[in-house]
Amino acid sequence: MAQHQINSLANAGLPVALTTVDKLVNWGRTNSLWVLTYGLACCAIEMMASGASRYDFDRFGVIFRASPRQADVMIVAGTLTKKHAEFIRRLYDQMAEPKWVISMGSCANTGGMFNTYATVQGVDRVIPVDIYLPGCAPRPETLQYAVMLLQKKLRKRSIFQKQKPKRLV
């Protein structure tokens, strides 16, 4: 007998797997999180390293997109300047619902060491953030862990649940 032959006696004699719609949809959603590349500074180098072959973000279904229309997650990697703040908000608004934001690195979280007039003191002043990722700059493993946490967050959510308006700050 060939090894790959289906055992019809399992699963109550039927080649059927039962699940809920939530689980099925969330399974698809969590395993194809397409992210909008938002490299603003040196954190972008780590983000690129996570996407490259050594850390291989494709394993998680994370594929970098250059268009907000095709993206589910925005990874803000780097220092956000006040001049750029309106553009990050515009790109966030252009992303299709449901959408999530990972704030990567100290600068995106709180402004970091750039305690100056020209730096936005945390991207959460402009867009709502789901996951804050500490580090300066976070290693690729840390970014992957952040995506895994985001996946965990998504699995808990029912797909019929309306996305609540997110708290900005």
Partner 1 sequence: MRPYRPKDNVQKKSYYTDRFWVAPRIPEEPVEDEIFKADLRTLKKEIKVKKAYIQRGQLVIIIDAKDNVKALQVLKEKCGYDILSEMSAIDYLAQDGEFEIFYQLLAMSKRKRVRVKCRIKEDEAIESVEPLFRSADWSEREMYDMFGIKVNNHPYLKRILMPEDWVGYPLRKTYPLHGDEAAQWYEVDKIFGKEYREIIGPEQRDAAYISTTDTCNFARIYHEVPRCADPNSEPEKIESFNEDAPLVETFDLKKSKIVDKTR
Q: Looking at beta carbons only, is 54 or 83 nearer to partner 1?
A: 83
User: Which one of 7-15, 17-25, 62-70, 82-90 is the stretch in contact with partner 1 (CB under 8 A)?
Assistant: 82-90
Which residues in 32-71 contact partner 1 (CB under 8 A)? none
Query: In whole angstroms, how large is the CA radius of gyration of the chain?
Result: 19
What does the per-residue mask of binding to partner 1 show for 120-139, with x meaning CB under 8 A? Answer: xxx--xx-------------
Answer for which of 86, 134, 139, 148 binds partner 1 (CB under 8 A) is 86
Residue 145's Cβ-side half-sphere holds a number of Cα atoms within 13 Å equal to: 9
Q: Helix, strand or coil for residue 95? A: coil
Q: Which residue has the tokens 């967050």?
A: 153
Q: Looking at beta carbons only, is 38 or 64 nearer to partner 1?
A: 38
Name the packing angle between helices 140-155 and 21-30 (round to 10°).
Answer: 160
> 71 with 36: CB under 8 angstroms?
yes
The least distance separating partner 1 from the CB of residue 68, rounded to whole angstroms, comes to 16
Distance CA 94, CA 101 (A): 13
Residue 151's Cβ-side half-sphere holds a number of Cα atoms within 13 Å equal to: 18
Answer for which of 2, 9, 66, 169 binds partner 1 (CB under 8 A) is 169
Q: What is the dihedral of CA 17, 20, 23, 27, to 10 degrees?
A: 50
User: Which one of 27-35, 40-48, 50-58, 110-118 is the stretch in contact with partner 1 (CB under 8 A)?
Assistant: 110-118
The least distance separating partner 1 from the CB of residue 65, rounded to whole angstroms, comes to 23
Q: Does 105 bind partner 1 (CB under 8 A)?
A: no
Contact residues toward partner 1 (CB under 8 A) are 82-83, 85-86, 89, 110-111, 115-118, 120-122, 125-126, 168-169
